[in-house]
Amino acid sequence: LEPFIFNNKISSLNPVLMKDLLEYFKDNEKLQSFEQCILHLDPLNLDIHNTLILCKEYDMFEAILFIYNACLRDYTTPLNGFLEILHSQLVCDDHSHKQVGYVILMYISNCLVGNIPDITRGLDQDEIIRIQNNVFNSVFCKHSENESILQEPDYPYVKLMLQLDTREFLNVMSVTFGHPLCLPIHQIVIDILLHVMIEEGHSYTPLQIGHLFTFFGSAESCYSLLS
């Protein structure tokens, strides 16, 4: 089935075939190929519920995004779920956190600059701006939806991304600053980063603070070009 799916000769599979295909790839230690098969199927013909169960069980993060984005037009539920997974892995010192962490970084970057996956229909400008705002608000929220006032710090997901990889997170934000779509969020990002890393940033190293000021310099250059 694999070559037919990759060549777009098969665009849908029933749940039984999906499970059989998964077992085949598991037995041959090729789960990444199973994920690529999902990305080549017609999202409108997927058994969404069962496919999501399989993808979540085996940490197929790109396929999860594909299903939520292309099938459900939902751009924040998978992001919030990934952020919670990343938080749990970092708390447990689980070294597999880099996989989901860098999927999050790429996803944030794509959504904020308007490079949004769109498989079945064109997204108009209003929808792109709505998605951008929703993704931004998810990452830069002051408290998460699962907040516990006594336990959760302000801007938990910003701090989470800085803990994952300060330089790469700031690089992602720097790239977004080069796009006109992101002009409305420039000052908000700068204010939050100053608050998190300088005003209350007791745990950040001199190297991390250096990355922050490099980001500020890049952001100022981008703002001058766009304004």
Condensed to tens digits (0 to 9), the pLDDT of residues 144-195 reads 876 554 567 889 999 999 999 999 999 999 888 877 767 778 889 999 999 9
CA dist 39 and 55 (Å) reads: 11
Place of tokens 């790839």: 25
Residue 66 to residues 15, 63, 78, 126, Cα–Cα distance (Å): 18, 5, 10, 21
Answer yes or no: are the C-beta atoms of 97 and 76 closer than 8 Å: no
Length of the chain: 227
Q: What is the C-alpha end-to-end distance of the chain, expressed in Å? A: 52
The two three-digit tokens of residue 103, written as one number: 């999927």
Question: Where is pLDDT greater, at 200 or 102?
Answer: 102
Answer yes or no: are the C-beta atoms of 100 and 87 closer than 8 Å: no
The one-letter amino acid code at 155 reads Y
Q: Residue 223 pLDDT > 50, yes or no? A: yes
* pLDDT at site 149: 46
* pLDDT at site 48: 86
Segment 107-136, tens digit of pLDDT: 999 888 888 765 555 678 888 888 889 999
